[in-house]
Structure 1
Amino acid sequence: MKKLLIGVAILVAIIAITATIFVGQMDQLIADAIETEGSAALGSEVRVAKVETKLREGIATINGLTIANPGGYKAPHAISVANFTADVDYENQIVEQILIDQPVINAEMKGQQNNFEDLLANMPDSEESSEPEGVEPVITIKSFQLRRAQVNLTADRIGERSFIMDDLVVNDLRGTPEQISEVLTRRLIDHVSVQVKNYATAEITKMITEEARKRVKEAVNEKIQEQVGDKLKDKLGVADKLKGFGLGKD
């Protein structure tokens, strides 16, 4: 079964955050773990600018998280997250809140294919390990929030567009990091997919409507010009006849 996209990065981050109380990892070691494990799981380069953990305050912050686009796409990153913060009750393994604020999502469509589908397709299959694994911790996430995400959409029919995606809020999650990451990933992918499709459909509909309106206007103008031309011809014809009877003006 393929590991899931965004949730893998979240999974690694959650494990790193909850692990600090037990093994006392330093911030740089956490950043290195996110980059190494995230890149291996996604099959695409994951980078982190900086990690800051404040155990006394129960705050963990990941700055400059990026997930690279697969080859053949314009933008270097599929996802860029400036600030990824978590309020953590380390003693009880409860994450009060995870907040991803103003991420940038670069969605590129080529025909029926897009970069997120390629990312999923390029992810390596997870292999079953014959070695026994330790019991995963059960954690609680009271609130996961994705706010004010900017989606930069590039599509053949509409060109380049940008819009602010509706916020996503998921509350009261409990399970192992892997279980939680799967739930969050499905919600995130569904949310982004629906938002992008709805926006693209609305823009295409507007383009079609505008094009139809333009064609109707052109047809009406052409008809009016024809009618004006016909009336002018009729008037000129009458004038010529009057001249023939010596009634027209010279």
Structure 2
Amino acid sequence: MSTVLKVLAGLVVLIVAAVVVVVLNLDKGIKTAVETLGPKYTQAEVTLNKVDLSLKSGKGTLSGLVVGNPVGFKTGQAFSLGEISVQVDTSTVTKPVIVIQQIRIMAPEMTYESGKNGSNIDQLQKNVTAAAGSSHNATDSATEVEGEGVKLIIKDLLVSGGKIHYSNALLGDKTIDVALPEIRLTDIGEKSGGATSAEVVKEVLAAINKKAGSAIANSPAIDDLKKQLQSQLKEKADKVVGDKLKGLFNRE
């Protein structure tokens, strides 16, 4: 899977995780749940500006969801979302399989920062995986216990208007911006009669790899990104060679 594809997959997976938290806390303080459980799983600051959800209709919107970066990264945040709209089948909320009719993710923006030991997105995913594994042994969180046996079906998931901001030490304070193609996934967990959170993640990754891979790989923005990086590398290399030559001829 290409780097950009991994970024997109990471974005969708993290968003789905946030929506799962919302669904499992329909009758509780959603904003508090997201801002409390988010940092626990990501090891980064998570803030949610506004939640507007009707328990009766199952329709709702989440605005201003921002996930910061793990320790060791310099960019301001990993991703931010303009708005997420959710439609939950409320008749299934108390059942073993919760049906989410649709998830609409509008104008997501992700900053992919490449570091010496991997990217910020890689680290976030590692943090989430580690936290999810340890949560099986935790007994002090009622929310986690309640969610252990829950399965999900996501009928329709749409990501549109997204952007990636690529950051690398070679670029200095600049970023390279890449527009994301529209991504649509349907019937996640449908065939199996419901999917666990881990199975949702696996299915989302597989679907993105199949449906979005060629679109991203063929994007003109990717060629632009490669050219800009090659240019930056050449400039750095020329400078290093120039400095060494100066040092050679300036020797007494």
Per the normalisation by structure 1, the TM-score is 0.65
What is aligned with 1:146?
A: 159
Whether the 8 Å contact between 2:69 and 2:75 is mirrored in structure 1 is yes
The sequence identity of aligned pairs, in percent, is 17
Alignment of 1:117-136 (within 5 A): 117-123=122-128, 124-125=130-131, 126-127=133-134, 128-129=136-137, 133=145, 136=149
What is aligned with 1:172?
A: 187
Q: Spell out, residue by residue over 1:131-164, the C-alpha distance to the aligned partner (whole angstroms, 9 max, x if none).
A: 6955623332111111111111223556522121
Relative to structure 1, the CA distance from residue 206 to residue 10 in structure 2 (aligned partners, 3 Å threshold; closer, same or farther) is closer
- Where does structure 1 lack aligned partners over 5 or more consecutive residues? 213-250
Whether the 8 Å contact between 2:185 and 2:207 is mirrored in structure 1 is no
Indicate the SS of the match to 1:49: strand
AA partner of residue 39 (structure 1)? P
Alignment of 1:1-250 (within 5 A): 7=13, 10-17=16-23, 19-20=25-26, 24-25=27-28, 29-92=29-92, 93-110=98-115, 113-123=118-128, 124-125=130-131, 126-127=133-134, 128-129=136-137, 133=145, 136-156=149-169, 159-174=174-189, 175-183=194-202, 186=205, 195=216, 199-200=221-222, 202-205=224-227
Indicate the SS of the match to 1:74: coil
Q: Spell out, residue by residue over 1:48-75, the C-alpha distance to the aligned partner (whole angstroms, 9 max, x if none).
A: 1111112343312111111111234332
Relative to structure 1, the CA distance from residue 206 to residue 75 in structure 2 (aligned partners, 3 Å threshold; closer, same or farther) is closer
AA partner of residue 197 (structure 2)? E
Relative to structure 1, the CA distance from residue 155 to residue 171 in structure 2 (aligned partners, 3 Å threshold; closer, same or farther) is same
Indicate the SS of the match to 2:165: strand
Indicate the SS of the match to 1:103: strand
> Which structure: larger Rg?
1
Q: Report how many residues are paired.
A: 201
AA partner of residue 153 (structure 1)? Y
Per the normalisation by structure 2, the TM-score is 0.64
What is aligned with 1:237?
A: none
Relative to structure 1, the CA distance from residue 19 to residue 171 in structure 2 (aligned partners, 3 Å threshold; closer, same or farther) is same
Cα RMSD after superposing both structures: 3.7
- Where does structure 2 lack aligned partners over 5 or more consecutive residues? 1-8, 93-97, 235-252
